[in-house]
Amino acid sequence: MIDIRYSAEVAKARESGRPLVALESTIITHGMPHPQNVEVAAQVEQDIRDAGAVPATIAVIEGRLHVGLEPRELQALGTAQHVAKLSRADMAACLATGGTGATTVAATMIAARYAGIEVFATGGIGGVHKGAETSFDISADLHELAQTPVTVVAAGAKAILDLAKTLEVLETLGVPVIAYGQDAFPAFWSARSSHRAPLRMNDAVSIARAHAMRGALGLPGGQLVANPIPLADEIAAAELGPIIAEAQADADTHRIAGKAVTPYLLQRIFERTEGRSLTANIALVRNNARLGAGIAQELVNLKT
Ligand code: PSU
Ligand code: MN
């Protein structure tokens, strides 16, 4: 019933059992400005190939679920105006009505699981927004991590969020949060937040084993691997704090709500840092892609 299209590269990888890493498309359409978005998306795919795995960028195009995009499809998606942002609530409706949309972390996890892909790399997951006690703005990404068995590699949750509350919700939902190679939970553009991650692992094989063990236990959800941005590329948390606060105040003044909040904040921070937030964002996504490829490879090794 689902019209699913694999790119030529992904179809071949599925036949030969090569490691696959899913990539989201909302980061392309809503997370980064044009034309860097298209360049970065292609670069991240190449990083995955260079690390020995196969990239599968996911999107819905004219009612078809694409797992792996051909270069021209990626270019078209990244250049189009007003592409829908698809989360868990929107996927089925978009597919059923022949729509086009970019998948968030939640929707990408749904598609990845459907296509049998167990690892997914992105920038930062959505989480609990600042002021959520009154706005109730909590990303569907957290609930997806609780129910869909995909290991998501991200640089923690975006620092525009309330990280303490995000970690509390992840704990409540039973989502393993694994910091990679350090004790601290990373803060997206900064390598360390002031919060300690509940778990720490130092190599891809441990993460792959934990993923497989959750499956063996019959646990439904995934894992969040919190991979810090390389220190050389980070923006110090102390410098970003006031910029994030200003962006949040602007969002409140303009009554930005719902799906528009995250793209609005990212754009404001991009302007206020004169593009440095984007440079850091690119570095951390690429870093996550490489680790994702390593975990995917180890998962294949475990099965053979
Ligand atoms: N990470 C980024 N840039 C982004 C996002 C994540 O570096 O644009 C997107 C992801 O698709 C994530 C979404 O799932 O933001 C979260 O949106 P919301 O807070 O509305 O759930
Ligand atoms: Mn939200």
How does DSSP classify residue 185? P
286: nearest Cα among 45, 24, 36, 34 = 45
- The most distant pair of C-alpha atoms in the chain lies apart, rounded to whole Å, by 56
CA atoms of 280 and 246, how far apart (whole Å): 19
Q: Is 158 a catalytic residue?
A: yes
289: nearest Cα among 19, 69, 101 = 19
Quote the ligand 2 centre to 75 CA distance (angstroms): 27
188: nearest Cα among 234, 225, 145, 144 = 234
- At 129, the amino acid letter reads H
CA atoms of 200 and 225, how far apart (whole Å): 9
Quote the ligand 2 centre to 54 CA distance (angstroms): 30
pLDDT at 304: 86
- At 299, the amino acid letter reads L
- Which one from 9, 130, 144, 158 is the annotated catalytic residue? 158
CA atoms of 179 and 298, how far apart (whole Å): 18
- Which atom of ligand 1 lies nearest, measured to the CA of 140? 21
175: nearest Cα among 156, 194, 195 = 156
pLDDT in tens, 165-216: 999 999 999 999 999 999 999 999 999 999 999 999 999 999 999 999 999 9
* pTM for this prediction: 0.96
pLDDT in tens, 106-144: 999 999 999 999 999 999 999 999 999 999 999 999 999
Tokens of residue 189, six digits:
């553009």
Tokens of residue 15, six digits:
């036949």
Q: Which ligand is closest in space to the CA of residue 105?
A: 1
Best of 105, 142, 244 for a ligand 1 pocket test (most atoms within 8 Å of beta carbon):
105
Q: Is 24 a catalytic residue?
A: yes
Q: Which ligand is closest in space to the CA of residue 104?
A: 1
Q: Per-residue confidence at 237, pLDDT binned at 50, 70, 90? A: confident
Residue 137 assigned ligand-binding role: yes
192 CB-near residues (< 8 Å, 6+ apart): 182, 184, 185, 186, 228, 237
> Is the distance from CB of 99 to CB of 1 less than 8 angstroms?
no
**159, pLDDT greater than 90:** no
